[in-house]
Structure 1
Amino acid sequence: MSTTPDRRALVIGASKGLGLVLVGELARRGWHVIATARQDGDELRAHADASNGRLTVESLEMNSPEQLAALRERLADHRLDLLFVNAAIDRGDLPITEVPTDMFTEVMITNALSPLRALETLRPLVVPGGTVAVMSSEQGSISRNTEDGYELYKASKAALNQLMRSYATRHADDGHTKLLVDPGHNRTGLGGFDAPLAPEESVPAVVDVLEAQAGAPGLRFLDRHGEPVPW
């Protein structure tokens, strides 16, 4: 990842929660950031208006391959030091035996399939030595799955991690740093408002990890302290 003042990032899924704080932190550090929102991006657009041009907003429904392709065309003249996919959903704490098929499909498409589609579609915009990263979760760690609950969400993040391993194998020689990042359990709409961490605490540490890992070969699954998360 470049250390010049012209560092550029694209963050997929930035209308709220961790994504919103992430784009703000990157812009604060001098990055030029393109952030995507599906529709409810009023707060994100307000951030962009106050950013002195460091933050711009693009509309994107990540689950649409057509919209991903259109975004790539709109950004064809851009070169990115960082491509970060943050978007994810949760549909509550149902035992897997009670999860409707359409809910299972929706969560798996949004949390596992679509992030990899986004990476494959947009990776040509990433410069040699740039970083391709996805927001994962400790809940995707199979070896740490020792407590009941949130079976579908855990499965979707484990699937995401596995697909990212396949992505890293397929593109082993592309010169990109590849990261799965566990930001910890944050107080967001996704993480719940009784979670121990505030995004304003965890996200600067996440950006520290992104910047510290720049240029490192291979794929790493790291927490916000830069420590490996077991698969």
Structure 2
Amino acid sequence: MTDTRKTALIVGASRTLGLGLAAEFLRRDWNVIGTVRGTGRTGLHELAETSEGRLTVESLEMTDPDQITALRDRLAGRPLDLLFVNAAITRGDLPIGEVPTEMFTEVMATNALGPMRVVEFLRPLVAPDGTIGVMSSDQGSITLNTGGGQDLYRASKSALNQLMRCYAARYAGDPRTLLLMDPGWVRTELGGMEAELSVEESVPGVAETIENHRGKPGLHFVDHQGQTVLW
């Protein structure tokens, strides 16, 4: 019997939001491919063991172009309904003048360059009516930044948003849906324990927003409640 389930590739699915999204799409009867860094055992491996074969774990270091190319080659012939990149780091709340050059490079490469390489390299795998999304943040919004702080993290997310805008312009007329997703302020290593939302509270809304935007071409900057985020 032909498997008619939709397929999602979630890049950065070893823990917190990425792992939660993998579990949520399994609950929604999707097949899921999730990536982890390195070869160590993660929560995604544990989830795969209970997925009845619907979750595949792949290894990917997103900052390595050769590994992205190798993943594309491994997945050739397996059309994706969703490519979603969930990856970000922070290195503390320093004023930008105090940020070492190496730290700036690391955060920008991980939060902006790496995700866009994944999008560019893996685009051919996404079905014409599929969705390409990246995890952004309202901290990437210039309009909403009235309090400052987290200079480097904010800048990396603003850069990601701008690069997705460039991507959308370059492929104007492409029928795929493009999403910049703000998951809300979530209790993770990045969000901190004071955050408003648990992973379990954020993730269903993220998945619902992704599904509701299917078939809506162009770039959308939205949050986990489906509301538009100001640029």
| TM-score bracket relative to the smaller structure | over 0.9
Aligned to 2:136: 136
Aligned to 1:186: 186
Q: 1:223, 1:137 → 2: CA distance?
A: 8
Percent identical pairs in the alignment equals 60
Runs of 4 or more consecutive aligned structure 1 residues displaced over 6 Å after TM superposition: none
Deviations 1:28-48 (A, max 9, x none): 110000000003552110001
The number of equivalent residue pairs is 228
Residue pair 2:174, 2:217 contacting (<8 A) in 1 also: no
The within-5 A match list for 1:115-194 is 115-194=115-194
Deviation at 1:89, TM superposition (A): 0.7
| TM-score normalised by the chain length of structure 2 | 0.97
Aligned to 1:30: 29
Whether 1:105 and 2:105 are equivalent positions in the alignment is yes
Q: 2:16, 2:4 → 1: CA distance?
A: 26
Q: Secondary structure at the match of 2:204?
A: helix
Q: 1:57, 1:126 → 2: CA distance?
A: 18
Q: Which amino acid aligns with 2:30?
A: W
The unaligned stretches of length 5 or more in structure 1 are none
Q: 2:202, 2:160 → 1: CA distance?
A: 21
Residue pair 2:136, 2:181 contacting (<8 A) in 1 also: yes
Q: Which amino acid aligns with 1:116?
A: M
Q: Which amino acid aligns with 1:27?
A: L
Residue pair 1:139, 1:145 contacting (<8 A) in 2 also: yes
Q: 1:193, 1:30 → 2: CA distance?
A: 31
Q: Secondary structure at the match of 2:208?
A: helix
RMSD: 1.0
Deviation at 1:148, TM superposition (A): 2.7
Q: 1:91, 1:41 → 2: CA distance?
A: 25
Residue pair 1:138, 1:182 contacting (<8 A) in 2 also: yes
Residue pair 2:138, 2:229 contacting (<8 A) in 1 also: yes
Q: 2:119, 2:59 → 1: CA distance?
A: 17
Whether 1:57 and 2:57 are equivalent positions in the alignment is yes
Residue pair 2:15, 2:42 contacting (<8 A) in 1 also: no
Aligned to 1:114: 114
Q: 1:138, 1:41 → 2: CA distance?
A: 32
Aligned to 1:211: 211
Deviation at 1:5, TM superposition (A): 4.4
Q: 2:14, 2:108 → 1: CA distance?
A: 21
Q: Secondary structure at the match of 1:81?
A: strand
The within-5 A match list for 1:8-87 is 8-39=7-38, 40-87=40-87
Residue pair 1:16, 1:41 contacting (<8 A) in 2 also: no
The unaligned stretches of length 5 or more in structure 2 are none
User: Which stretch shows the higher mean deviation, 62-71 or 171-180?
Assistant: 171-180
Q: Which amino acid aligns with 1:97?
A: G
Deviations 1:94-139 (A, max 9, x none): 1111100000000000000111100000010000110000000000
Note closer, same or farther for the CA distance 1:30–1:5 as it changes in structure 2 (3 Å cut).
farther
Aligned to 1:197: 197
Residue pair 1:181, 1:223 contacting (<8 A) in 2 also: yes
Q: 1:81, 1:26 → 2: CA distance?
A: 12
